[in-house]
Amino acid sequence: MSDEKEKVELEEEGLLASLSSHNMDEFREVFLEQHPYDQAKFFSKLEEEERFIVYSYLSPEEMASVFENIEDDDDRYKIFLSEMDPTFAAQMLSHMYADDAVDVLNELDKDQAASYLTIMDDDAAEEIRELLHYEEYTAGSIMTTEYIAIHANQTVHSAMQILKNEAPNAETIYYVFVIDEAKKLVGVISLRDLIINEPDTMISEVMNERVYSVSVAEDQEEVARKMKDYNFLALPVVDFRGHLLGIITVDDIVDVIDEEASDDYSKLAGIADVDSNDRGPFTAAKKRLPWLIILLFLGMFTASLIGRFEATLDKVAILAVFIPLIAGMAGNTGTQALAVAVRRIAVGDAEEHSSIKLLLKEAGTGLITGTVCGIVVTIVIFVWKGELFLGMLVGISILATLTVATIAGALIPLIMHRLKVDPAVASGPFITTINDIISILIYFGMATLFMQYLI
Amino acid sequence: MSDEKEKVELEEEGLLASLSSHNMDEFREVFLEQHPYDQAKFFSKLEEEERFIVYSYLSPEEMASVFENIEDDDDRYKIFLSEMDPTFAAQMLSHMYADDAVDVLNELDKDQAASYLTIMDDDAAEEIRELLHYEEYTAGSIMTTEYIAIHANQTVHSAMQILKNEAPNAETIYYVFVIDEAKKLVGVISLRDLIINEPDTMISEVMNERVYSVSVAEDQEEVARKMKDYNFLALPVVDFRGHLLGIITVDDIVDVIDEEASDDYSKLAGIADVDSNDRGPFTAAKKRLPWLIILLFLGMFTASLIGRFEATLDKVAILAVFIPLIAGMAGNTGTQALAVAVRRIAVGDAEEHSSIKLLLKEAGTGLITGTVCGIVVTIVIFVWKGELFLGMLVGISILATLTVATIAGALIPLIMHRLKVDPAVASGPFITTINDIISILIYFGMATLFMQYLI
């Protein structure tokens, strides 16, 4: 594979050379041999003038397969499209797989998208229009209408004929879906089964009537889970009456799984999108500042809470020494509980009874970890400072804080999930700050109550 | 799909009933119609006595497809196997896809695994033995040897014949790999292309000679990235001389992507494995306590640092009020930088020049966010408390802290990566504690220096 990588890098140099020497034949010969992913990577690195040459060297169809594989910031699609001749762009869009074309058009202004659809050929435009109105992150938004459908009263042979004809345009030919006259989905047969069976067998005899499908409005994360669990290569998408609308292929699902994971990860770290954080420092700062400013004000609130205990602090300054320890432990345990809860919600296990079970379990976990850490800290402070009472105060604060913080870490995402807010938003930094506040109230509250023993 | 889910749930009740009434025919009729994933889910829920009935109702081959789909704690494989008659178990293992059988055998003690291999049929045992010695998390450990290989000097027709014969046993028939006499990989052809081309075409004319492969020792994460980028359904695995050893199919890769993402997420939250945290509270506490205890001692160290400034604190108790704010901001910004760096490393972008670029960018980002937050906090404290000097002290501390903490957040995972330690380990809670220490040194250091202006 590293050979292949080196080869691609060598070829890229050659391609750049043939662009600058305007040698179209040489460019096409090397470029069209490359995998579309490598083509797209090469294209993304080019300067504007070089891109103009590429547009003139490739047909709209060839450009379409490059465009399908661009993994770039969304606003760059816009730039590329605006550089192309509009007719060329429209032709390219109509040659793309409909779901990929929709992704591109979704990034444009409405009137721009409409103008491309107008000059596009009618069939392609219609297919794209159908897909354009599905909401983002639903099955409808990632499905394609380029599937192969057959009828149950055909033979295997005639089904294979259809396959041969449609293979060049269909996104996958490895699953063939069986529909009735009303376009209702009634079965599925894999190409593997078509090949194994005799040509004159009827489809109705060999098809699998137990066909798994997803509803067009289903969340893409749910679709990904189904595909992963059942190891499908394609899943049919149906409307509420069971009519076949499109299919979702495994390659799109691989991207969904990757995106969703990166999304949860970003939110746990308190960044909008961890993967787009690699432009300049100004862009990165702009993306991170909103969170930091919110947390700054939450932190000021925490500070004002401690401020209320200034009298206590004035008398027993050593109390301040343990603030970061207690707040830190609360933050850590809260993040652990949060991560478990968010993950549980993500794998679809958040029914009412299992939520309550989760909370009880987290309460128990918090109590156990709190007791252990509380005892350890009491002993350490006693040995280190020789102060049993201070040790007990910190120890009991840790016990109470860890219990409450663990429950809060699980409770908050569960509540947000019930309120239909993405629970991952309630993530790392947010839960940490909430738990700062909880821990400080507990710690200073207890210290003020038992002041007489401390002085 | 929810219909399908309800149907499965209804069927499960029926299956349980037929198990308890010892109605084998009824059980088999419903069970064998189910998708293996549903079969495995049902089986995992059974009690021991019920499982014994299932073993007696199913053939080793039928049981194999259940076993391939069990997604359970690894130690349960052991229990299930020990319940079976050894000959039944061995036959079942030999009917499983070799890569899945290897996963199961890897969980057993060496001598147990060896004894199953001895009573297994020879072909299957040999295939499994070959796979058993590849290291975990490499391409070798997830590949299967049940692929279809043909020669370049065959016709499409004869290739299709081979396909028809091997289809029932091969893990995928959608890619066929072309090898020479020495078993060297020389090309690939998709079933789609086989179907489109005329039966008497030679494979050498239609195969793709540009075949992407991975080395058997390659990291599975790298394999997953390749598969995702290039949208392959299967990737061939070769040794260093280019001999075809096996293939990796997309369904295994989907699991890898999911596992790796969950792994990074768990580490960011400071939990060993977020997905196995759902047994009882004692198990959960046992898994989380190691981290919490380590962090407790790190926190005690932070506390002892603040303790050194007790004299300062005694004079200006209000300083304590801003400890959580400053430490919290340092933790947040460090986690953001860490997440970006870990992700960059995960997508393979950690060469020396890009590491330095990343560090410079993070330094810039820290300086910008630090300046903005520092100015905001100075203004807020001045307006709120009327104390310009205290405001400036906190503001400048935030500026310095954020800059250093952001750099540390990026630097630490990069160093760990260079030391060949998984950078995700240096995650959330760890970086937070490091940054606690940094922030307190900066804040109290400055406060002590400029003490005269504060009193």
> How confident is the model over A43-67, as pLDDT tens digits?
988 989 999 999 999 999 999 989 8
B103 and B224 co-located in one domain? no
- Pairwise CA distance, residues B240 & B248, whole Å: 17
pLDDT at residue B44, as a whole number: 87
B246 and B308 co-located in one domain? no
User: Best-predicted range by mean pLDDT among A305-319, A424-438, B224-238?
Assistant: B224-238
Q: Mean pLDDT over residues B84-111, rounded? A: 88
Q: Mean pLDDT over residues B254-277, rounded? A: 70
Higher pLDDT, A344 or A91: A91
- From B53's Cα to the closest Cα of chain A, the distance in A is 25
Mutation for A interface: B292, B351, B358, B443, most A CBs within 10 A: B292
Q: Specify the CATH number for the domain of residue A358.
A: 1.10.357.20
pLDDT tens digit sequence for B190-206: 888 888 888 899 999 99
How many Cβ atoms are within 10 Å of A236's Cβ, its own excluded? 25
A128 and A153 co-located in one domain? no
pLDDT band of B453, cuts 50, 70, 90? confident
Chain B CB within 8 Å of residue A339 CB: yes
pLDDT band of A272, cuts 50, 70, 90? low
Judge whether B29 lies within some domain. yes
**What residues 236-275 of chain A have any CB closer than 8 A to a CB of chain B?**
250-251, 253-255, 257-258, 261-262, 264-266, 268-271, 274-275
Contact A454, A397 (CB under 8 A): no
Burial class (CB in 10 A: 0-12, 13-18, 19+), A347: middle
Judge whether A269 lies within some domain. no
CB contact under 8 A, B37 and A277: no
* Domain residue limits at B22: 2-133
Q: Pick from A1, A340, A376: which is nearest to B277 by CB?
A: A340
Judge whether A422 lies within some domain. yes
Chain A CB within 8 Å of residue B174 CB: yes
Interface A-B, measured as beta-carbon pairs within 8 A, has a size of 367
pLDDT tens digit sequence for A362-413: 888 889 989 999 999 999 888 887 888 888 999 999 999 999 988 988 888 8
Mutation for B interface: A9, A190, A296, most B CBs within 10 A: A296
Judge whether B238 lies within some domain. yes
pLDDT at residue A169, as a whole number: 78
pLDDT at residue B277, as a whole number: 44
Q: Mean pLDDT over residues A356-366, rounded? A: 86
Q: Specify the CATH number for the domain of residue B29.
A: 1.25.60.10
pLDDT tens digit sequence for A254-270: 888 877 777 777 777 66
Phi then psi for residue B238, to 5 deg, are -125, 160
**What residues 274-293 of chain B have any CB closer than 8 A to a CB of chain A?**
274-275, 277-278, 280-282, 284-285, 288-289, 291-293
Higher pLDDT, B218 or B310: B218
pLDDT tens digit sequence for A16-35: 999 999 999 999 999 998 88
Chain A CB within 8 Å of residue B386 CB: no
A289 and A161 co-located in one domain? no
pLDDT at residue A349, as a whole number: 65
Chain A CB within 8 Å of residue B351 CB: no
Chain A CB within 8 Å of residue B324 CB: yes
pLDDT tens digit sequence for A427-444: 666 777 788 888 888 888
Chain A CB within 8 Å of residue B344 CB: yes
pLDDT at residue B90, as a whole number: 92
Does position B59 have pLDDT exceeding 90, yes or no?
yes
Distances (CA, A) of B120 to B56, B59, B61: 19, 15, 13
Distances (CA, A) of A342 to A19, A395, B141: 50, 29, 30
Does position B274 have pLDDT exceeding 60, yes or no?
no
A425 and A301 co-located in one domain? yes
Does position B158 have pLDDT exceeding 90, yes or no?
yes
CA-nearest of B269, B178, B41, B379 to A331 is B269
Buried b or exposed e, range B362-393, using 16+ CB within 10 angstroms: bbbbbbbbbbbbbebbbebbbeeeeeeebbbb
Q: Mean pLDDT over residues B227-247, rounded? A: 89
- From B205's Cα to the closest Cα of chain A, the distance in A is 15
CA-nearest of B299, B430, B316, B298 to A324 is B299
- From A392's Cα to the closest Cα of chain B, the distance in A is 15
pLDDT tens digit sequence for A181-232: 989 999 999 888 888 888 899 999 999 888 889 999 888 888 988 888 888 8
CB contact under 8 A, A320 and B324: no
A307 and A440 co-located in one domain? yes
CA-nearest of A111, A163, A328 to B432 is A328
A194 and A294 co-located in one domain? no
Chain B CB within 8 Å of residue A218 CB: yes
A244 and A279 co-located in one domain? no
pLDDT band of A134, cuts 50, 70, 90? confident
Q: Pick from B363, B369, B440: which is nearest to A324 by CB?
A: B440
Does position A72 have pLDDT exceeding 70, yes or no?
no
pLDDT band of A277, cuts 50, 70, 90? very low
Dump the DSSP string for B85-98.
-HHHHHHHHHHS-H
B301 and B446 co-located in one domain? yes
- From B91's Cα to the closest Cα of chain A, the distance in A is 24
Distances (CA, A) of A142 to A190, A238, A247, B234: 22, 13, 9, 22
pLDDT at residue A184, as a whole number: 92
Chain A CB within 8 Å of residue B371 CB: no
User: Best-predicted range by mean pLDDT among B221-235, B264-278, B368-382, B410-424?
Assistant: B368-382
* CB-based contacts of B419, cutoff 8 Å, min separation 6: none
pLDDT band of B276, cuts 50, 70, 90? low
Number of domain units in chain B = 3
Q: Mapping DSSP to helix (H, G, I), strand (E, B) and coil, where does residue B427 land?
A: coil
Q: Mean pLDDT over residues B152-163, rounded? A: 91
Lowest mean pLDDT among A17-21, B137-141, B282-286: B282-286
Judge whether A44 lies within some domain. yes
Question: Which residues face A144 on adjacent strands?
Answer: A247
Q: Mean pLDDT over residues B263-292, rounded? A: 69
- Mean confidence (pLDDT) of chain B: 84
Does position A151 have pLDDT exceeding 60, yes or no?
yes
Q: Mean pLDDT over residues B17-44, rounded? A: 90
pLDDT tens digit sequence for B378-436: 998 888 878 888 889 999 999 999 999 989 888 888 888 888 776 665 566 677 778 88
- Pairwise CA distance, residues A219 & B76, whole Å: 32
Judge whether A265 lies within some domain. no
pLDDT band of B349, cuts 50, 70, 90? low
Q: Mapping DSSP to helix (H, G, I), strand (E, B) and coil, where does residue A387 land?
A: coil
Taking CA–CA distances from A313, the nearest residue in chain B reads B317
Alpha helices per DSSP H over B184-249: 191-196, 203-206, 220-230
Chain B CB within 8 Å of residue A35 CB: yes
Judge whether B268 lies within some domain. no
Q: Specify the CATH number for the domain of residue A178.
A: 3.10.580.10
Chain A CB within 8 Å of residue B301 CB: no
Judge whether A328 lies within some domain. yes
- Pairwise CA distance, residues A268 & B295, whole Å: 19
pLDDT at residue A186, as a whole number: 92
A19 and A106 co-located in one domain? yes
Q: Pick from B261, B324, B369: which is nearest to A436 by CB?
A: B324
Q: Mapping DSSP to helix (H, G, I), strand (E, B) and coil, where does residue B136 land?
A: coil
**What residues 40-99 of chain B have any CB closer than 8 A to a CB of chain A?**
71
Which DSSP state fits B322? G
Higher pLDDT, A119 or B265: A119
Residues in A touching B338 (Cβ below 8 Å): 269
Contact A262, A274 (CB under 8 A): yes
A15 and A46 co-located in one domain? yes
pLDDT band of B211, cuts 50, 70, 90? confident
CA-nearest of B451, B434, B171 to B305 is B434
CA-nearest of B287, B289, B267, B305 to B430 is B267
pLDDT at residue B350, as a whole number: 61
- Pairwise CA distance, residues B80 & B44, whole Å: 10
pLDDT at residue A429, as a whole number: 66
Q: Mapping DSSP to helix (H, G, I), strand (E, B) and coil, where does residue B397 land?
A: helix
Two structure tokens written together for B365: 């980002």
Dump the DSSP string for A115-178.
HHHHHS-HHHHHHHHHHHTSPTTBHHHH-BS---EE-TTSBHHHHHHHHHHHTTTSS--SEEEE
A87 and A231 co-located in one domain? no
Higher pLDDT, B447 or B344: B447
